[in-house]
């Protein structure tokens, strides 16, 4: 009789443990992965276009362009796409630095980052560059970052992704600090773990470099909330899986206002969950059929749900298994879920020790349970109402103050 309960519980525990194990492996390897930056070689004749979509960014676009100007030259130009702006974003960008071009787009029916990028690429097509680097309008990139992204993209003939770090606001709440740590784990520790295994990473939306011919095989669209991630997966199927460029760091500030932070997280995490459900089966099937470890690694990476959801799932599974064990069922499923929770905690701790101690104080880690509970409505809305359908610009109150490192 116990077998009728033990087998389903064991399956439940294993399903929860597999993404936890992959998360643990990534974080532990990522914490130890410290490659030496390769020498930056002179790229004679290589033309680079930095494409920057911007919608009503007048509060910070001038500072963003000015910070990027030292990396621009006659062969490395910035193209700002002022998309459906109702402020003076275009004018401010145009007079903020040398080698800057501004494209204005007005199409109220087709709104969003994907449309803005597609418009910019269409304008570049007449005289295409060798490499396109995509940067958000609220980001700063480390010194020589543009040149390093371009060099790496041409070397691997595939998209490359910089470290993307989000920093807390000037007067951060405990939740904002924990959110910054979550992004550090997701965007720095885990991609470095994949790089240590020799595997590709997911694209994160900014600090991305593409060889022109590769990018044109899967141009940006606005059919998905995380169009950059989907674009990287489509290119992986075509043999151009994205690679990490850990010697380049891109930084941006987390939204300071509660509504803006919630909207941003909802868009990203709904997009991740929807992409996981729609793309993982195809990645696994094609990876196994063609014996391509890069596709299998991307499928495993995509199968790891957002950290808060993974913790909530494991806590719920642990509770079910604990009650079953008390009623006489096997204790093995309970042991598996408890070990999985310990693995996640160890992985987060390793990532924090390696990269997060300057960003997050030890006492701020005590806010993690409250942060997880804060995310409950977000996941509830996804599973009851479906994913967010429309792209929404994140309201910002400041430009990043922390220098990339």
What's the CA angle centered on 123, arms 95 and 392, to 5 degrees? 75
Q: Residue 220 has what pLDDT? A: 75
Sequential DSSP letters for 218-280? S---SSSTTHHHHHHHHHHHTT---EEEEEEEEEEEPPSSHHHHHHHHHHHHHHHHHHHHHHH
- Residue 315, both tokens: 């806590």
The alpha carbon of 84 is separated from its chain's Cα centroid by a whole number of angstroms, namely 25
Q: Which of 194, 191, 232 is nearest to 214 (CA)?
A: 232
Q: How far is CA 331 from CA 17, 22, 343, in A?
A: 15, 23, 18
| Phi/psi at 73 (5° precision) | -160, 180
> Does residue 198 sit in helix, strand or coil?
coil
Which sequence spans correspond to the domains of the chain? Answer: 1-34+168-203+229-238+254-405
- Rounded (10°) CA dihedral 90, 96, 97, 101: 0
Are the CB atoms for 59 and 219 separated by under 8 Å? no
Residue 140: how many other CB atoms lie within 10 Å = 22
C-beta of residue 6 within 8 angstroms of C-beta of residue 334: no
Model confidence over 83-127: pLDDT tens digits?
999 999 999 999 888 899 999 999 888 888 888 999 999 999 999
Q: To the nearest whole number, what is the mean pLDDT of the chain?
A: 87
Structure tokens at 337: 């879920």
Which residues does the chain have with pLDDT short of 70? 1-4, 170-172, 221-226, 256-265, 382-405
Q: Position of tokens 């204005």?
A: 104
Cβ neighbours for 230, distance < 8 A, ≥ 6 positions apart: 221, 223, 224, 275, 279
pLDDT tens, residue by residue, 14-35: 998 999 999 999 999 999 999 9
C-alpha distances (whole Å) from 35 to each of 185, 247, 277, 352, 395 are 18, 8, 33, 18, 36
- pLDDT the model gives residue 278: 86
The pair phi, psi for residue 352, each rounded to 5°, is -65, -45
Rounded to whole angstroms, the Cα distance separating 71 from 67 reads: 9
Strands of 100-105's sheet in order across: 100-105, 76-83, 48-54, 131-134, 208-211, 160-167, 243-253, 140-141
pTM over 0.85: yes
Is-contact 287 295, C-beta < 8 A? Answer: yes
pLDDT at site 1: 45
Is residue 322 packed enough to be buried (19+ CB in 10 Å), middle (13-18) or exposed (0-12)? middle
Q: How many helices (H) and strands (E) does the chain have?
A: 15, 8
Whole-number pLDDT of residue 402: 46
**Which pLDDT score is estimated for 194?**
97
How far from 98 is each of 37, 77, 139, CA to CA, in Å? 28, 9, 18
- For residue 172, give Cα distances in angstroms to 63, 139, 398: 22, 19, 13
CB atoms within 10 A of CB 386: 10
């Amino acid at each position: 009789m116990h077998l009728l309960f033990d087998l389903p519980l064991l399956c439940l525990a294993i399903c929860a443990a597999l993404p936890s194990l992959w998360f643990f492996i990534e974080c532990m390897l990522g914490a130890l992965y410290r490659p030496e930056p390769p020498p930056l070689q002179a790229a004679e004749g290589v033309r680079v276009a930095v494409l920057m979509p911007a919608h009503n960014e007048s509060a910070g676009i001038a500072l963003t362009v000015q910070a990027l100007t030292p990396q621009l030259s006659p062969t490395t130009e910035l193209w700002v796409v002022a998309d459906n702006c109702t402020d003076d974003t275009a004018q401010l960008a145009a007079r903020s630095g040398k080698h800057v071009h501004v494209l204005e787009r007005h199409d109220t029916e087709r709104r969003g980052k994907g449309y803005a990028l597609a418009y910019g690429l269409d304008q570049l097509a007449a005289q295409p560059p060798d490499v396109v680097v995509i940067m958000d309008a609220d980001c700063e990139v480390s010194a020589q970052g543009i040149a390093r992204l371009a060099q790496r993209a041409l070397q691997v003939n595939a998209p490359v992704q910089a470290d993307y770090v989000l920093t807390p606001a000037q007067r951060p709440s405990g939740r904002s600090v924990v959110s910054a740590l979550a992004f550090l784990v997701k965007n720095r520790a885990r991609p470095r773990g994949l790089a240590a295994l020799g595997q590709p990473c997911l694209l994160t939306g900014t600090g991305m470099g593409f060889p022109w011919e590769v990018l044109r095989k899967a141009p940006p669209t606005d059919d998905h909330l995380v169009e950059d991630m989907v674009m990287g997966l489509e290119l992986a199927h075509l043999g151009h899986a994205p690679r990490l460029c850990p010697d380049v760091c891109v930084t941006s500030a987390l939204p300071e206002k509660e509504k803006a932070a919630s909207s941003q997280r909802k868009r990203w995490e709904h997009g991740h969950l929807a992409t996981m459900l729609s793309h993982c089966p195809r990645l696994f099937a094609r990876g196994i059929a063609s014996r391509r470890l890069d596709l299998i690694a991307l499928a495993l990476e995509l199968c790891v749900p957002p950290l808060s959801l993974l913790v909530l799932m494991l806590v719920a599974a642990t509770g079910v298994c604990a009650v079953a064990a008390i009623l006489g069922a096997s204790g093995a499923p309970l042991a598996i879920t408890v070990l999985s929770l310990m693995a996640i905690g160890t992985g987060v701790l390793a990532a924090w020790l390696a990269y997060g101690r300057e960003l997050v104080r030890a006492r701020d880690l005590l806010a993690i349970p409250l942060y997880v509970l804060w995310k409950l409505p977000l996941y509830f809305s996804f599973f009851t109402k479906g994913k967010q359908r429309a792209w929404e610009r994140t309201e910002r109150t400041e430009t990043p103050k922390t220098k990339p490192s």
